[in-house]
Amino acid sequence: MSLEQDILQQVASASDEAALEAVRVATLGKKGSISEQMKSLGAMGPDERKTAGVALNVLKDKVTEAIAARKAVLQEAQLEQRLGLEKIDVTLPARTEPRGTVHPVSQVWEEVVQIFGDLGFAVAEGPHIEDDFHNFTALNIPPEHPARQEHDTFYFSEKPDGSRMVLRTHTSPVQIRTMLTQKPPIRIIAPGRTFRNDSDMTHTPMFNQIEGLVIDETTHMGHLKWILAEFCKSFFEVDDVKMRFRASHFPFTEPSMEVDINCSWEGGQVKIGQGSSWLEILGSGMVHPNVIKAGGLDPDKYQGYAFGMGLDRIAMLKYGIPDLRAFFEADLRWLRHYGFKALNVPTLPGGLS
Ligand code: PHE
């Protein structure tokens, strides 16, 4: 077999680019067979050199061409193979929207944290299972106080020392826990679960409250009124809301006020900031000196306000949800109707709802 045939056969049978490159090196490379023959031209006589030189150059061109052609074929084949492997079915449906939704309580929780965060409040937390001291006594509700009956408390069984833990009946124990661990000025909100043995259209045994507490040396009721008005406007996304402060009574505040906001019920839908009906949304007042003392602070030096709001309740009002019990039934149809898209994170600049 001639050198040419031999080389062309090698080129043709190279099964991948690496094998082809090996053939190129073995022929056209510095020490390749063709290059070696080129070197021997020098030892020839002029005529012989001319013929042999032309023949060698023709061979060199042919081999170069054959290698380039084979290379193109191999690359093409490789591309075909990749396209075959990496194909996608464009008729398949695009990725579907996530089916889960954010529960209105979670949404409103986040909204409230955003609003009060912007007003300089930090978020505080406390346990759901409380002792008698934090849930009652420290809040100026001593044993035998009638307020204990009003709370429809869930009690745990008696401990050997006769004391009983409770499921916290309000978020107010977080006031005590905060005062015992932080130094004034204190400015916190405490959203969380609360429990009372009560169930109807507007009451569930578990519900959510949000507590607010400000303690320093100068804060007074004017500050409380202002902060609540700011909150209501921001939360209900209205320019103005009328508020009514009604004298009330809580053992842990003095004076105490319940706060109503104005609304209209036109067309069976509640609209906040319009009309002449009133809706109660929270309890509040100036923190009672006994509570400040129980929190380890000097009531002659420190003062401040507290408020407690029903989180589920303001969610119902804002989003027109009629029945509180449905909040906790985990009915998928209800969740899809009243839930929020997972990526609609409420922010003040981006919009709350
Ligand atoms: N803890 C009260 C309740 O559950 C609400 C409240 C909190 C009132 C703070 C005044 C101050 O009804």
Nearest residue by C-alpha to atom 10 in ligand 1: 284
Q: Given the CA of residue 171, which atom of ligand 1 is nearest to it?
A: 1
pLDDT category of residue 251 using cuts at 50, 70 and 90: very high
Q: Average pLDDT, stretch 174-196?
A: 97
pLDDT of residue 55: 87
**209 CA distance to ligand 1 centroid (A)?**
9
In this structure, of 232-236, 266-270, 294-298, the range with the lowest mean pLDDT score is 266-270
**308 CA distance to ligand 1 centroid (A)?**
4
Nearest residue by C-alpha to atom 4 in ligand 1: 170
pLDDT of residue 268: 75
Better pLDDT: 152 or 342: 152
Task: State whether the beta carbon of 135 lies less than 6 angstroms from ligand 1.
Answer: no
* SS3 assignment, position 351: strand
Q: Which of 298, 302, 304 is nearest to 284 (CA)?
A: 304
pLDDT of residue 345: 74
Choose which residue among 213, 249, 252, 290 to substitute to test ligand 1 binding: the one with the highest number of ligand atoms within 8 A of its C-beta. Answer: 252
Q: Average pLDDT, stretch 294-301?
A: 97
- With 80 as the cut, is the pLDDT of residue 348 above it? no
Residue-range domain boundaries for the chain: 3-85, 104-338
What's the rounded Cα separation, in Å, for the pair 272 and 242? 9
Nearest residue by C-alpha to atom 7 in ligand 1: 308
Sequence-distant (6+) residues with CB within 8 A of 278 are: 244, 260, 261, 262, 263
Q: Which of 143, 209, 140 is nearest to 176 (CA)?
A: 140
- pLDDT 10s digits, 135-179: 999 999 988 887 777 778 999 999 999 899 999 999 999 999 999
What's the rounded Cα separation, in Å, for the pair 344 and 205? 29
Q: For 195, left (φ over 0), alpha (ψ -120 to 50), or beta?
A: beta
- With 90 as the cut, is the pLDDT of residue 342 above it? no
pLDDT category of residue 300 using cuts at 50, 70 and 90: very high
Any idea which fold 104-338 has?
Answer: BirA Bifunctional Protein; domain 2 (3.30.930)
